[in-house]
Structure 1
């Protein structure tokens, strides 16, 4: 019901990507359209290059946000297919690892 309900997961990655795009765009436009001179040297190129770097770096945030919002495929059991031997083996190994970690965690807390 709120403003961000459609954004679903990974809101922090979205915020980072949008901020990086805004910083990069502002830096790029300021570097292109203003004349920044300090002690007779032109520094507009630095802003242009840093703006491009911000925009390119924001792609990582967009990829994280998009990949975090991909809905998973239905499992074989949801589709009505029986479990295979590989599925049972993977589940058994996963349970053993988890139970080992749980025993280690509880023994360290005592």
Structure 2
């Protein structure tokens, strides 16, 4: 069974590595913060690892979203994007010309 082109781990490899590393570090920090007693000088540092692990997992979630959205293909072709961009540029030019041509009303009080 052959896969279509562009499916799999072909795009956004850096973001994929980032997301996997943040997952590993985040889960490790959470587990160490929960199960290992970390007292240094009478202070407990377990909460620090819990919060930093949760932050790393949140960052990894952003990485997974970026990786997944970077691997979506076939939604809009390149021609459609340039066509839409040209339409938006024409609309912006038309609106700016109309704004420039409008006479400004002065409010005079009598």
TM-score range, shorter-chain basis?
0.5 to 0.7
Q: Deviations over 1:43-79 (max 9, x none)?
A: 111001100000011111111100100013255x8xx
Q: Please give the secondary structure, in 1, of the residue aligned with 2:65.
A: helix
Matched positions, count: 80
Please list every run of at least 4 consecutive aligned residues from structure 1 whose deviation after the TM superposition is greater than 6 angstroms: none
User: In terms of Rg, which structure is larger?
Assistant: 2
| TM-score, scaled relative to structure 2 | 0.63
The unaligned stretches of length 5 or more in structure 1 are: 78-86, 94-110
RMSD: 2.7
**SS at 1:35's partner residue?**
coil
Return the structure number with greater relative CO, CA threshold 8 A, min gap 6: 2
Instruction: Give the gaps of 5 or more residues in structure 2.
Output: 1-6, 90-110
